[in-house]
């Protein structure tokens, strides 16, 4: 009998692309996956943040890629070129995203289209290029999108953000059916309020009473980026090998009420 403990969440010999890796959930996910043995392409528009992330990853062979996901037409070439030097991928995590807090009456076309572009259209473009032979390692593929509890419940001034994340849910389910024949699973994680820089920007608009009221909506309190990273790792690893087309809600009980 082998003396080595079995770990169904081991990601040894697996490679992943993580967008939004310079901060927040993306950084926490990159760190978590590296601890589980994965090799990573870490992508973000924030070069300094990426360097900070790479400095704390475990293992070797990780790659940093500065890229603006608003350049949808260039995503195919960028991913293929990155894999040419890095190696093919077993999965990807689209954690990059932007917030949008604006009542409908002042929500501009330019604003909600930019949010949709980064949060949703880039997710589709990344998933579209993933099955390509030059990108996909060819077995046990897994794609994880980051959605939001705001795609499941209503909230004032969240229309622009909610529409971008709700679209992720429909895309996840339909893509899961289409990609099953390629042995690629497609899932999404929908967090509640997580203590990230994006959260800090929202909280800055609240007074103490508002902050307490929002936190009270989470029976387990506000989340940490690591809480979401755990769920993402679960879906990428063999622990999620019979899960596809699902939205895993990780929200401290926010949507249970």
Q: Catalytic amino acids?
A: 161
**CB 145 within 8 Å of CB 161:** no
Length of the chain counted residue by residue: 257
Helix, strand, coil abundance in the chain, percent, nearest 5 = 45, 15, 35
Cα(89)–Cα(87) distance, integer angstroms: 7
**CB 65 within 8 Å of CB 88:** no
DSSP 8-state code for residue 222:
S
Cα(194)–Cα(208) distance, integer angstroms: 17
Please state the φ and ψ torsions of residue 256, each to the nearest 5 degrees: -80, -10
Cα(68)–Cα(31) distance, integer angstroms: 22
Record the tokens describing residue 38, joined without a space: 């994965």
Backbone angle region of 240, left / alpha / beta, with phi > 0 → left and psi within -120 to 50 → alpha:
alpha
Record the tokens describing residue 75, joined without a space: 């995503």
Please list the alpha-helical segments (H only) found in the chain: 24-35, 47-56, 75-86, 109-116, 122-129, 159-179, 197-203, 208-216, 225-236
Cα(156)–Cα(224) distance, integer angstroms: 23
């Amino acid at each position: 009998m082998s003396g080595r403990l079995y770990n169904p969440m081991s990601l040894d010999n697996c490679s992943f692309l993580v967008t939004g890796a310079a901060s927040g959930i993306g950084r926490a996910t990159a760190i978590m996956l590296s601890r589980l043995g994965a090799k990573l392409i870490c992508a973000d528009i924030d070069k300094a943040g990426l360097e900070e992330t790479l400095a704390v990853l475990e293992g070797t062979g990780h790659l940093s890629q500065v890229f603006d996901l608003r350049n949808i037409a260039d995503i195919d070439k960028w991913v293929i070129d990155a894999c040419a030097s890095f190696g093919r991928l077993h999965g990807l995590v689209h954690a990059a995203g932007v917030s949008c807090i604006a009542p409908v009456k002042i929500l501009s076309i330019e604003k909600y289209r930019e949010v949709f572009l980064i949060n949703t259209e880039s997710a589709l473009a990344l998933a579209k290029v993933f099955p390509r032979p030059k990108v996909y390692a060819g077995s046990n593929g897994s794609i994880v999108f980051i959605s939001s509890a705001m795609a499941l419940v209503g909230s004032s001034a969240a229309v622009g953000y909610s529409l971008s994340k709700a679209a992720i849910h429909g895309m996840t389910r339909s893509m899961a059916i289409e990609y099953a024949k390629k042995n690629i699973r497609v899932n999404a994680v929908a967090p509640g309020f997580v203590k990230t820089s994006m959260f800090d920007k929202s909280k800055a608009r609240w007074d103490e009473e508002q902050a307490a009221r929002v936190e009270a909506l989470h029976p387990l309190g506000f989340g940490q980026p690591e809480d979401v990273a755990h769920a993402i790792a679960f879906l990428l690893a063999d622990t999620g090998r019979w899960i596809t087309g699902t939205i895993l809600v990780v929200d401290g009980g926010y949507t249970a009420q």
